Amino acid sequence: MRIAICLESAALLTWEIISLLRFWKKLCVSVLCFIASTGTKSALAQKPTRAVQFKAAHSWSDPLRIEPRLSGNFGEMRGNHFHTGVDLKTEGREGLVVIAATDGQVSRVKMSPWGYGNALYLDGPDGVTTVYAHLQRFTPKVQSWAVERTYAVRSLGLDASPPASAGLHFQAGDTLGWSGNSGGSGGPHLHFEIRSTANQHPLNPLDGWLDKVDTRPPLLPVLWVESPAERLRVALPVSDTLVLPGKTRFAIEGYDLLDGASNICGLRTLAAQVTSESGETLLTYRASWDELDFAVNKDMNAHAFYPVWSKERDQVHRLHRLPTNRLGIYTTPPSEGWVELDSGMRAELRVAATDAAGNATSVHVSLVGGLSLSPEGGVCNDLGAQDHGEWKVEPGFAGTQSHGSFEFAWKAGTFFESEIMGVFVRENGRTLEMMPIDVPYRKSIQVQWPVPSSVNVWEGAWSILPGDTLPSDRWLAVQRKESGEVARAVVASWLDSAWEVDLPRGGHWTLERDTVAPRVLPYHSGTPLMVSGDAVWYVEDALSGIADVQMTIQGRWARVVWDPKRNMVTYAAADAIHPRGLPCPVSLQVTDEVGNIHTWRRTLTWP
Ligand SMILES: [Zn+2]
């Protein structure tokens, strides 16, 4: 394995034979040292992990009765966070028995249209909590406790901690529920987590908790080279010496593939080093995904090479930890990551990755200093002299700025690095373009948005007649995809003479008004009643989105399950609050984010 790495690295170089041989010898030694320091199988095997200690003292069952196959692992980049568990495949279907991994007490039950969906938290011995998410339903004694609790608090969804008196105690191997596709799940699977009970930090389930055979090493297919002026994509391996355009920093696409699945998974460790030809270390970096912390997990946006991550969803890791990045996964000090080589000066970049099974991959790139490119000017240069303003924002400071009648306010820590903020006002104030676009916003920018000048008031979406007073309610700042589909919509609140909106990212925002109530349609034409006795509706809202769903049967509050993925609302006959054989009034009230309400009312007779 190690010899193969040396051969591969050597083959990348186009140098003369003699220097190649001399270098090869040096490289083999340094790659060996480097690999050894990144924690491979042998290093892991030396100290018993928490999982090994736990299993020696307590019973343990894998949460599914089938061979574990993973569609996702711990630490892979997802949306705006690192994935905090493993996603176990469930043969593409729902309803597989989910069993308790440890003995324990149910400490939390969640039922939500979003996120974890139906989820159960089990507090086991030695401060170990296991979490089972996206379930179809819970085992009957948990299910009936959760349903009863929902009727007591009359909420859409539930997030509650059962008291010990509820008797929700299980032993390893007991049935906890059935696998499903609830919440933010993109298909049937079981999301499984191991947490430290005390601080709720998720631990890597592949650190000895779940045994998963994996023989495929991680992949490092693309290096990204960033200078103040440009971004360069370099396919790996690369045989040519890379000429650096002055001050430069690096990011690498790195991921793992597991046996028996094609899904892109996260790495276990990633390390990088830049060494000058005189042996000086110019950059050193190491991250490992053993434990995460929900409090700072969104700083994944600063770990990722955001311009590529946000557009392509490729797992591209910055090879430096930004000083404002609070993640605890690094063992090297923070750094802005810039490497500057004098013209003609040579250096080596080495990157090594391991997966949870200890398979390792490394790449090696020869670098030489070149001439620096001058960076572009301000963010607004290419757009000519239009109605725009720009200013600098430092990560550690809050601030305010105005542009025309627009006002902008940001909190300290909004950006991870100092940025030039730029704003353009277009269409007489109906559209706002906010820069920067391809960096993450950790906090929203608060914008006071004045009423646009009246010129366009009766055109298009502004469908009011001249002379009418512009209504100030039910407005949203909307960002649309190229296809025209709504990407995100932020409710605007009216303050005297302007709207206030919290914009969570840069780009093109337009004021739009939502006056249309959600659509509500019974599952069958005419009736929502199914043979099972469940009542099912389709609900949809075109612009602002659905905020709440409330149902009554004979005036009595009834629990519904809203599934935004399928646009469906279900009343479960198992709740049994409906009378049978008698006509009774039923109402379903669906409210959107700006308060438009559709109330569906009928008399239904359950068989
Ligand atoms: Zn998951």
Q: Is the per-residue pLDDT at 41 higher than 80?
A: no
Q: Which CATH superfamily is domain 53-203 in?
A: Glucose Permease (Domain IIA) (2.70.70.10)
Average pLDDT for residues 497-506, to the nearest whole number?
95
> Measured in angstroms, how far is the CA atom of residue 394 from the centroid of ligand 1?
35
Please give the CATH number for the structural domain made up of 381-513: 2.60.220.30
Quote the CA–CA distance of 210 and 188 in Å, as a whole number.
20
Contact by Cβ (8 Å): 196, 129:
yes
Q: Is the per-residue pLDDT at 281 higher than 60?
A: yes
Q: What is the DSSP track for 254-315? A: EEB--TT----B--SEEEEEEEETTS-EEEEEEEE-SB--TTTGGGHHHHB-HHHHHHH---
Contact by Cβ (8 Å): 365, 348:
yes
Q: Is the per-residue pLDDT at 384 higher than 50?
A: no
The predicted pLDDT at position 517 comes to 96
> Measured in angstroms, how far is the CA atom of residue 417 from the centroid of ligand 1?
30
Average pLDDT for residues 488-515, to the nearest whole number?
94
The predicted pLDDT at position 468 comes to 61
Q: How confident is the model at residue 36 (pLDDT cuts 50, 70, 90)?
A: very low
Q: Is the per-residue pLDDT at 334 higher than 70?
A: yes
Most confident of 11-15, 103-107, 184-188: 103-107
The predicted pLDDT at position 39 comes to 38
Helices (H), 115-183: 140-153
The predicted pLDDT at position 467 comes to 58
41-45, 207-211, 463-467, range with the lowest pLDDT: 41-45
Quote the CA–CA distance of 178 and 132 in Å, as a whole number.
10
The predicted pLDDT at position 194 comes to 98
Q: Does the pTM exceed 0.85?
A: yes
Q: Is the per-residue pLDDT at 593 higher than 50?
A: yes
> Measured in angstroms, how far is the CA atom of residue 363 from the centroid of ligand 1?
30
Quote the CA–CA distance of 73 and 266 in Å, as a whole number.
6
Tokens, residue 71? 């569609």
The pLDDT tens digits for 61-115 are: 999 999 999 999 999 999 999 999 999 999 999 999 999 999 999 999 999 999 9
What is the H or E stretch that residue 523 is in?
A: none
> Measured in angstroms, how far is the CA atom of residue 116 from the centroid of ligand 1?
8
> Measured in angstroms, how far is the CA atom of residue 477 from the centroid of ligand 1?
31
> Measured in angstroms, how far is the CA atom of residue 88 from the centroid of ligand 1?
8
The predicted pLDDT at position 382 comes to 46
Q: Is the per-residue pLDDT at 380 higher than 80?
A: no
The predicted pLDDT at position 23 comes to 34
Higher pLDDT, 261 or 34: 261
Mean pLDDT across the chain, nearest whole number? 88
> Measured in angstroms, how far is the CA atom of residue 53 from the centroid of ligand 1?
26
Per cent of the chain over pLDDT 90 is 79
For the segment(s) 519-605, the CATH number from 3.30.70, 2.60.40, 2.40.128, 1.10.3470 is 2.60.40
> Measured in angstroms, how far is the CA atom of residue 83 from the centroid of ligand 1?
6
> Measured in angstroms, how far is the CA atom of residue 138 from the centroid of ligand 1?
18
> Measured in angstroms, how far is the CA atom of residue 448 from the centroid of ligand 1?
38
Contact by Cβ (8 Å): 103, 209:
no
> Measured in angstroms, how far is the CA atom of residue 91 from the centroid of ligand 1?
16
Domains of the chain, by residue range, sit at 2-37+214-369, 53-203, 381-513, 519-605
> Measured in angstroms, how far is the CA atom of residue 298 from the centroid of ligand 1?
16
